[in-house]
Amino acid sequence: MIDFGLGALPYCSFSHNDGRRRLGVGAGTGIVDVDGLARRGAISSIDPRILTRGRLNPLLAAGRPVWEALHEELSVIIREHLDTAIPQDQTAMHLAWDVGDFVDFYSSRYHAENLGRLFRPDTDPLLPNWLHLPVGYHGRAGTVVVSGTPIRRPSGQRRTPDGEIAFGPSVRLDIELELGFVLGGPTKLGEPVPIAAAAEHLFGVVLVNDWSARDIQAWEYVPLGPFLGKSFATSVSAWVIPMQTLAAARIQGPAQTEPRPLSYLRTEEPWAFDLDLEIWMRPSGVDTSTRIATVNTAKAIYWNAAQQLAHLTVNGATVRPGDLFGSGTISGPVQSQSGSLLELTWAGRDPVDVGGTLRTFLEDGDEITLRGRAGGGDVPLGPVAGKVVSSRERQFQEETP
Amino acid sequence: MIDFGLGALPYCSFSHNDGRRRLGVGAGTGIVDVDGLARRGAISSIDPRILTRGRLNPLLAAGRPVWEALHEELSVIIREHLDTAIPQDQTAMHLAWDVGDFVDFYSSRYHAENLGRLFRPDTDPLLPNWLHLPVGYHGRAGTVVVSGTPIRRPSGQRRTPDGEIAFGPSVRLDIELELGFVLGGPTKLGEPVPIAAAAEHLFGVVLVNDWSARDIQAWEYVPLGPFLGKSFATSVSAWVIPMQTLAAARIQGPAQTEPRPLSYLRTEEPWAFDLDLEIWMRPSGVDTSTRIATVNTAKAIYWNAAQQLAHLTVNGATVRPGDLFGSGTISGPVQSQSGSLLELTWAGRDPVDVGGTLRTFLEDGDEITLRGRAGGGDVPLGPVAGKVVSSRERQFQEETP
């Protein structure tokens, strides 16, 4: 159970006794039934029908003035309805919204440099475009799942160290710690969102674990990018933290002077977020979780959310209510601040000590939980939990042609 | 106007006098209002509510037995309702379904080899993974648009020939001729669709023009693949041709013996389609269209739709009703059989003669139309039409930092 207090006001989609999905808002360690409040006429600031569909999408479509009005009203009336809050452990949590398109960026400089050092040791760790634009790509929206969903080990093709092509369960299953941004809209085809208008479309944040099969990815990704190595599952927190709640955590990010970004990517606004994120692992057969990494997002992320949104739409691509983008793996300058096992173990060469158990990549039964707190500690983020289950047995015997 | 005859039975979403979106089926040069038939109780083989939502998605969710029953009933009753058919030119056409995830493959060997020769002239034209797996990536589902939608020239970053970073309207706007497959489902997370079950999920085909800004793409795409160079628009035909209609066009595709595919990609079924596709261009200011390329898909496509679907899901990724995948650009062994201007003009070096007008890449006002016919000529495919409109003026002055 997480204690959100009364100031965070995170949204969720939950079900309780009758199984019906309802929108809720976190209050202390309980959930206030926003759907029920709307049906009973207890919410007056916005059209109550926006709140009774069991998902955030109608609210995401309604736009920032509606988001602000609802947040303000909830911050007052939640106190009156605290006695009706349902304890978190008596609910089932669902994905809080239907995901439109899912874009994954690559915006942590330390992460990009780590991968460059690992895979292109004889060259500049950053590729030529990296400091000029937020590199990103589209992921699979249909396999974004809510925290707690078991993660089946994917099978696929890989090239073995001796150059053979093999098929079977991934042997390098990894995690990626990311910050995700849930978008509202819509916008019109052909009309970019200028960076000054980014706030109109950034609804809130989730934590993201973008599970990755490094062996599948390494073999498939040239020249069109990651595909099956990522598309089997992406876990997000059940709780969506609205931007209003994170206002106090907004600070200036890293300086961008060499090179200076092109004008469509320039902003003076403090679009970095001072968030402390953590990765916890409970190895298979072990009772306790161990924290294996911590990283602060403000220092680690080079391209901020407003820049990412401005870039994403500068070609005229639309934003739909429910679109999601991720920061990409967040890593800091020190190895223990890495957002992936690939970096924490330096591609498996240096196993990490998880409370006495050594790990390189994930084993069946391992459980990963991402957690975080906004700077100052008032607002919890996450959790994003997922346990690895074994691949399907007989069909996925190892095969070489 | 296209004459579909009475055997093709292509689905569409159209509106007429009252503006309401309705499912229809093509009959001759008219559209029979399937939504209206269902509401009046004239369809008995399936639940009529599947047909009254204005989009194909409920039908896509219903599965192959329902698809077969409806196709069979329509093939009979359409003759009784021909007098009610609305002429195509009195309707507005909409995207026939809400797109879930959009995956774009790269399955034409000639196309992949052409790009290898153009961009990596000193190496093997095929990358090492290409003959082992259907290379693919996720595109942007939210910018899939119906035939006829104007295509605004995208702006973005590019690297100029002298190595400067510049921002402005794309100067290498291109087309990609593709065959698209509309999927039904759903499937369960973690459960692949084996190749023998592919037919259960392949609902029908569309033609696809995956507009591409080659200059934006070239600068952004390493290492995570195409992003803004493709995401501004992907046009699809308003008509979805059901698989039943294409049964006679199914033949064996190219031999796959060196190397032999891994077992999950092996099938003896004739999953290639004998389709003749064409690209037509009407240059800006010119009254007539000229055919600039023709290609037969059966010869040009190496990895077939069943292989693509089996690959797409082998890692456990789900299929949702409405998912779409494209073949990737379809090119044949001869330059005039190329599915892109990049190949037709050999990266702009050899302008193509369009009825007396020379073109390398697209200019504002140019109109592209993709058309096709199933082998034998009975079933028309397409059209996919799109006219290039100029980029937004002032915001997109050329800029260098």
Q: What is the pLDDT of residue B377?
A: 73
What span, in angstroms and rounded, lies between the C-alpha atoms of B12 and B69?
Answer: 18
**A155 forms bridges with which residues in the sheet?**
A169
Task: Provide the chain A residues 347-366 that lie in CB contact (below 8 A) with chain B.
Answer: none
Reported as a single tens digit per residue, the pLDDT across B111-135 is: 999 999 998 999 999 999 999 999 9
Residues of A in contact with B318 (CB under 8 A): 142-143
pLDDT at residue A314 greater than cutoff 70: yes
**Catalytic residues of A, which ones?**
111
**Can you read off the two tokens belonging to residue A309?**
């949104």
**Can you read off the two tokens belonging to residue A167?**
């098929």
Residue recorded with tokens 């796959």: B256
Q: Are A226 and B224 a contacting pair at CB < 8 A?
A: yes
Query: Among B145, B192, B227, whose Cβ lies nearest the Cβ of A137?
Result: B227
Query: Among A129, A165, A219, whose Cβ lies nearest the Cβ of B220?
Result: A129
Residues of B in contact with A167 (CB under 8 A): 262-264
Whether residue A132 lies within 8 A of chain B, CB to CB, comes out as yes
Q: What is the pLDDT of residue A392?
A: 77
pLDDT at residue A177 greater than cutoff 80: yes
Residue recorded with tokens 């016919």: B373
pLDDT band at A395 (very low <50, low <70, confident <90, very high): very low
pLDDT at residue A292 greater than cutoff 70: yes
Reported as a single tens digit per residue, the pLDDT across B98-111 is: 999 999 999 999 99
Lowest mean pLDDT among A94-98, A179-183, A366-370, A371-375: A371-375
What span, in angstroms and rounded, lies between the C-alpha atoms of B306 and B134?
Answer: 11
Residues of A in contact with B156 (CB under 8 A): 314-315
Distance from CA of B45 to the nearest CA of A (A): 30
Whether residue B17 lies within 8 A of chain A, CB to CB, comes out as no
pLDDT band at B251 (very low <50, low <70, confident <90, very high): very high
Whether residue B130 lies within 8 A of chain A, CB to CB, comes out as no
Q: Contact, A216 vs A228, CB < 8 A?
A: yes
Q: What is the pLDDT of residue B397?
A: 59
Across B68-164, where does the E strand assignment appear?
Answer: 86-87, 92-94, 102-105, 136-139, 144-146, 151-152, 155-159
**Mean per-residue pLDDT for A356-385?**
94
Distance from CA of B237 to the nearest CA of A (A): 18
Q: Are A140 and B101 a contacting pair at CB < 8 A?
A: yes
Residue from A108, A132, A138 whose CB has the most chain B CBs within 10 Å, to mutate: A138
Nearest alpha-carbon partner for B153 in B138, B178, B172: B172
Residue from B98, B224, B232, B235 whose CB has the most chain A CBs within 10 Å, to mutate: B224
Q: Are A223 and B221 a contacting pair at CB < 8 A?
A: yes
**Strand, helix or coil for residue B34:** helix
Nearest alpha-carbon partner for B144 in B103, B92, B185: B103
Residues of B in contact with A146 (CB under 8 A): none
DSSP A50: G
Lowest mean pLDDT among A267-271, A284-288, A378-382, A396-400: A396-400
Tell me which amino acid residue B376 is: G
Whether residue A210 lies within 8 A of chain B, CB to CB, comes out as no
pLDDT band at A387 (very low <50, low <70, confident <90, very high): very high
Whether residue B213 lies within 8 A of chain A, CB to CB, comes out as yes
Q: Are A190 and B152 a contacting pair at CB < 8 A?
A: yes
Q: What is the pLDDT of residue A300?
A: 97
Q: Are A156 and B314 a contacting pair at CB < 8 A?
A: yes
Query: Which residues are CB-neighbours of A315 under 8 A, at least 6 positions away?
Result: A192, B154, B155, B156, B213, B216, B228, B229, B231, B232
| Summary mean pLDDT of chain B | 96
Q: Contact, B189 vs A349, CB < 8 A?
A: no
What span, in angstroms and rounded, lies between the C-alpha atoms of A9 and A78?
Answer: 9
Task: Provide the chain B residues 75-114 that lie in CB contact (below 8 A) with chain A.
Answer: 100-101, 103-104, 106
Nearest alpha-carbon partner for B176 in B390, B377, B362, B392: B362
pLDDT at residue B395 greater than cutoff 60: no
Q: What is the pLDDT of residue A87?
A: 97
Residues of B in contact with A216 (CB under 8 A): 315
**Mean per-residue pLDDT for B78-92?**
97
How far apart are the two ends of chain B, measured CA to CA in Å? 49
Reported as a single tens digit per residue, the pLDDT across A18-72 is: 999 999 999 999 999 999 999 999 999 999 999 999 999 999 999 999 999 999 9
Residue with more model confidence, B185 or A65: A65
Q: What are the C-alpha distances in Å from B45 to residues B64, B72, B79, B201, B243?
A: 13, 9, 17, 20, 19
Q: Is the ipTM of this complex over 0.85?
A: yes
Rg (CA), chain B: 21
Q: What is the pLDDT of residue A397?
A: 59
Whether residue A263 lies within 8 A of chain B, CB to CB, comes out as yes
What span, in angstroms and rounded, lies between the C-alpha atoms of B107 and B300?
Answer: 9
pLDDT band at A401 (very low <50, low <70, confident <90, very high): low
CB atoms within 10 A of CB B158: 24
Q: Contact, A312 vs A266, CB < 8 A?
A: no
Residue recorded with tokens 């003076």: A268
Whole-number percent of chain B with pLDDT over 70:
98
pLDDT at residue B214 greater than cutoff 90: yes
**B27 forms bridges with which residues in the sheet?**
B30
Reported as a single tens digit per residue, the pLDDT across A78-97 is: 999 999 999 999 999 999 99
pLDDT band at B394 (very low <50, low <70, confident <90, very high): very low
pLDDT at residue A316 greater than cutoff 60: yes
pTM, rounded to two decimals = 0.97
Nearest alpha-carbon partner for A264 in A356, A195, A208: A195
pLDDT band at B401 (very low <50, low <70, confident <90, very high): low
pLDDT at residue A377 greater than cutoff 90: no
Q: What is the pLDDT of residue B292?
A: 98
